Amino acid sequence: MSWLRRNRWVLGAAVVSLVLTVQPFRDSDVWWHLAMGHYILAHGIPAVEPFSFLHASNPWVGQQWLYEVGLARVVDVGGAGLASVLMGLVASTALLLALLSIPEQRRPSGPWMAAALLLSALVAAQLLGVRGQVFSLLGIALVLNVLTRWRAGSTRVLLALPPLFVVWANLHAGFVIGLAVAVVGLAMSRPATRRHRLLLGAAIVAAGVLTLVNPAGPGLWSYVARAFSNSTLSSVVIEWQSPDFHDNWLRLFELEAILLVTAWALTGRRELLGMVVAALAFAAALEAQRNVSLFAVVAAPELAVCGAAAWAANRDRLARGRLGSLRARRGPRRGPPGWFGAAVLGVLVAGTAGGVVPQITAAASNHFEATHEPAAAATFAAARLAGHRLYTIDTWGGYLASRFPTGRVVYLYDETGVFGDAALQQYLDIHDLRPDWAQVIATEQIDDAILPATAQEVSALLTLGWGVDCRDALSGSVVMSATSGGGTTDPAPPCA
């Protein structure tokens, strides 16, 4: 009970953060993960990519098989809404655990913890939702907690590392970041005894070895190396590109980074480990914006501790200045009455529920799917174009994989590590309309496509004499065929 009372602010903030972390299926990859989960439940983990008619140059690694199976089960049981709630809980728990990784003696007051959690939730929100990466955020928060306890003298806590990494390696490839954080912790900390250091080293080695306990064995590591070294990836997947600071949410990321540096500069209560991990995460986020959520999680505890310490250290300075004299003239402030806190809490919980519940109903999930994915177009294709090869953009490829899990009619989706560089380049030939785009279409015997109505591929295909079979105004998609002829998009009927 006293633990709850001590942490009521940060717990309240974690609850409020559910408004941000519970999200519909916004990440388009969720659809092929879902399809793969159902595939694994029916057939086991495949050896080769099972949905696409392209030749994937690498074997299927199944690096997220546990997440995929779990996702499929959850969606079967409670629909997309349940998956959204559970993953939102995981994300909020990750942020909460990151804040709770602050050692007791350094822990700032509740409002600072709550503010840091909510700011980080805002910054990370665009990269949360139903996606395997959220488990990696949770894993990193757990590693931070393990390191905190180890630095406080506990060695028993190190026993948690190996099982954590066994599970993590089967959920998401971000476990390598967790190992890196642990190694940085080992290098940056000064434990009481040499034995402490050796034990952490041994635990990291054991955790690293146990990551091999996965369906692909050592192949998982080569998969990760391929993914990180693939230069084409940033051409295809926006998340792997550097942040575009014209976006407001990335301005929030910038704001959090500036606040963090300011707090570090204004206080002496800093710890090298936290600073190094946050700085590395910031550098990683500049390289690929998908790492912004990683930064948000590791920055949250630093921001809370150092922000509070900086404020405390400089409050007197402000009071000495003219601002302080102005405040003194106004007289001391009275605190709010006791009932006020309870009322605020009630409003927050009600507001959170009001924000979350409408997102998780079946109707809301269906509407989101119909407006963000080519649902009606896929229904049209299922009825009229059964067995035809369908070209689409990479972000819709995963959705089509979930709608057409058999027959290998789908083009490419964002499991780029499996498809390999040659397939990606071939996709870019069409998507970027490189000179041989029409030849690739012909070579791959593609006669049908589901595309955003404004995509440049639509114009290109029209010049080849393709026609528009139907148009889905809700998702802004069109179904096109080489055989329907036409050369114009105007008279197309609705897909529904």
The residue ranges that bind another protein (CB under 8 A) are 231, 234, 241-246, 254, 258, 261, 264-266, 268, 270, 275, 279, 282-283, 286-287, 313-314, 317-318, 320-323, 432-435, 437-438, 453-454, 456, 458-460, 462-464, 489
Of the candidates 109, 149, 114, the one whose C-alpha atom is nearest the C-alpha of residue 309 is 109
209, 220 contact by CB (below 8 A):
no
Count of residues for the chain?
496
Long-range contacts of residues 82-87, Cβ cutoff 8 Å, at least 24 apart = 82/360, 83/25, 83/130, 84/22, 84/23, 84/24, 84/25, 84/129, 84/130, 84/359, 84/360, 84/365, 85/22, 85/356, 85/360, 87/21, 87/22, 87/23, 87/128, 87/129, 87/130, 87/131, 87/134
Minimum CB separation of residue 430 from another protein in Å reads: 10
Considering the complex, state which of residue 157 and residue 440 has its C-beta at the smaller distance from another protein. 440
Minimum CB separation of residue 9 from another protein in Å reads: 26
Minimum CB separation of residue 219 from another protein in Å reads: 26
Minimum CB separation of residue 265 from another protein in Å reads: 5
Considering the complex, state which of residue 157 and residue 286 has its C-beta at the smaller distance from another protein. 286
Minimum CB separation of residue 258 from another protein in Å reads: 7
**CA trace torsion 9, 11, 12, 16 (10° rounding):** 130
How many Å apart are CA 489 and CA 466, to the nearest integer?
10
Paired with 472 in beta bridges are: 477
Considering the complex, state which of residue 183 and residue 453 has its C-beta at the smaller distance from another protein. 453
Considering the complex, state which of residue 456 and residue 483 has its C-beta at the smaller distance from another protein. 456
Considering the complex, state which of residue 155 and residue 241 has its C-beta at the smaller distance from another protein. 241
And the tokens for 109? 């007051």
Considering the complex, state which of residue 100 and residue 294 has its C-beta at the smaller distance from another protein. 294
How many Å apart are CA 304 and CA 308, to the nearest integer?
6
Minimum CB separation of residue 322 from another protein in Å reads: 5
Considering the complex, state which of residue 160 and residue 460 has its C-beta at the smaller distance from another protein. 460
How many Å apart are CA 41 and CA 393, to the nearest integer?
27
Minimum CB separation of residue 142 from another protein in Å reads: 27
| Cα-based distances in Å from 119 to 144, 217, 279, 303, 304 | 19, 38, 18, 10, 10
